[in-house]
């Protein structure tokens, strides 16, 4: 079964290259490379300098996010059958490139950290678990599953323009995960923290985030709920 693919890959090693360039690599797949990540591992044998992050290879660790034929996604969850003969790979847009497909994620994590991504409940805990109804727990579905791959935030034009001021879809999804948790005690503070023309309201419901999320999550919906809460408390 012959499956010859052409890869065009963004390459840049600041230690060696004056400027970035697109490298063309032809590779013959033998059918054992189900996913794009498998193909990338094969390409790395051809050219060991090709650099990208990877770990779990099953879509839960969030390491191998990249721009695949113009759309952000995880290499390990992108089936080669769904890709055309020519595959163009670029680093996630909007973040500084460290090398090849590896970006500096710190602006992304800085925004995640800015929403205080942890439960705050300083009441002395009971001896056993804090009780939570099944309905209240269900509120967290679609929120806690985020893998912090940054596919969403780096596909968002508002985040490209204001990565230092706009929290971005991933951070806002996380913000709502804690707002929605009945065990958290600082909801008002969390809302205060987002009531700002940039931090939350730069979201213009373009919905690229929903389109690219490899886990099928919907940050726009969560953002909508936060906006509603801010409106109803004012």
Partner 1 sequence: MALAIHKYDAVVIGAGGAGMRCSLQLARAGLKVAVLSKVFPTRSHTVAAQGGIGAALGNMDEDNWHYHFYDTVKGSDWLGDQDAIEFMCREAPKVVYDLEHMGMPFDRNPDGTIYQRPFGGHSAKYGEKPVPRACAAADRTGHAMLHTLYQQNVRSNTIFYVEWMAQDLIRDAEGDVVGVTALEMETGELAIFHAKCVLLATGGAGRIFAASTNAYINTGDGLGMAARAGIPLEDMEFWQFHPTGVHNAGVLLTEGCRGEGGILRNKHGERFMERYAPKLKDLAPRDFVSRCMDQEIKEGRGCGPNGDYIALDLTHLGAETIMKRLPSVHEIGKNFANVDVIREPIPVVPTIHYQMGGIPTNIHGQVVVPKDGNPNTVVPGLYAIGECSCVSVHGANRLGTNSLLDLLVFGRAAGNHLIETALASKAWKPLPADAADRTRERIARLDASTSGEYAQDVANDLRQTMQKHAGVFRTQASMDEGVKRVMEIDERARHIALKDKSKVFNTARIEALEVANLMEAAKATMVSAAARKESRGAHTVNDYGDTPEFPLGRNDRDWLRHTLWYSEGNRLDYKPVNLKPLTVESIPPVKRTF
Residues near partner 1 (CB under 8 A) = 13-16, 34, 44-45, 48-49, 51-63, 77, 79, 98-99, 102, 105, 109, 113, 116-121, 125, 127-134, 137, 140, 144-145, 147-148, 178, 181, 183-184
With respect to partner 1, which residue has the nearer C-beta, 75 or 226? 75
Nearest-approach distance from CB 54 to partner 1, in angstroms: 6
With respect to partner 1, which residue has the nearer C-beta, 94 or 142? 142
H-state helical runs in 105-186 = 106-114, 134-138, 157-161, 168-179
Which residues have CB under 8 Å from 143's CB, separation 6+? 173, 174, 176, 177, 180, 217, 222
With respect to partner 1, which residue has the nearer C-beta, 79 or 234? 79
Half-sphere exposure of 28 (CA within 13 A, CB side): 3
Nearest-approach distance from CB 232 to partner 1, in angstroms: 25
Q: 23 φ, ψ to 5°?
A: -100, 135
With respect to partner 1, which residue has the nearer C-beta, 8 or 145? 145
Q: Which residues face 22 on adjacent strands? A: 10
Nearest-approach distance from CB 119 to partner 1, in angstroms: 3
Name the token pair of 123. Answer: 């009441």
Nearest-approach distance from CB 218 to partner 1, in angstroms: 15
Per the listing, tokens 């968002």 go with 156
Q: Would you give the DSSP letter of residue 2? A: -
């Amino acid at each position: 079964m012959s499956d010859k693919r052409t890869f065009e890959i963004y390459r840049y090693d600041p230690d060696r290259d004056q400027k970035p360039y697109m490298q063309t690599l032809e590779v013959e797949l033998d059918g054992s490379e189900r996913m794009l990540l498998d193909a990338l591992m094969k390409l790395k044998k051809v050219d060991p300098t090709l650099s990208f992050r990877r770990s779990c290879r099953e879509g839960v660790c969030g390491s191998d996010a990249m721009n695949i034929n113009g759309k952000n996604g995880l290499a390990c969850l992108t089936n080669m059958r769904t890709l055309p003969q020519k595959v163009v790979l670029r680093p996630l847009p909007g973040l500084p490139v460290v090398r090849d497909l590896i970006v500096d994620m710190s602006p992304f994590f800085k925004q995640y950290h800015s929403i205080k991504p942890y439960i705050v409940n300083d009441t002395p805990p009971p001896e056993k678990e804090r009780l939570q109804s099944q309905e209240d727990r269900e509120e967290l579905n679609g929120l806690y599953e985020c893998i912090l791959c940054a596919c969403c935030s780096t596909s968002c034009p508002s985040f490209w323009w204001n990565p230092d001021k706009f929290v971005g879809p991933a951070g806002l999804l996380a913000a709502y995960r804690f707002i929605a948790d009945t065990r958290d005690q600082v909801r008002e503070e969390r809302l205060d923290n987002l009531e700002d023309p940039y931090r939350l309201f730069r979201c213009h419901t373009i919905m690229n985030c929903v389109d690219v999320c490899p886990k099928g999550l919907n940050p726009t919906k969560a953002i909508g709920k936060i906006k509603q809460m801010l409106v109803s408390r004012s």
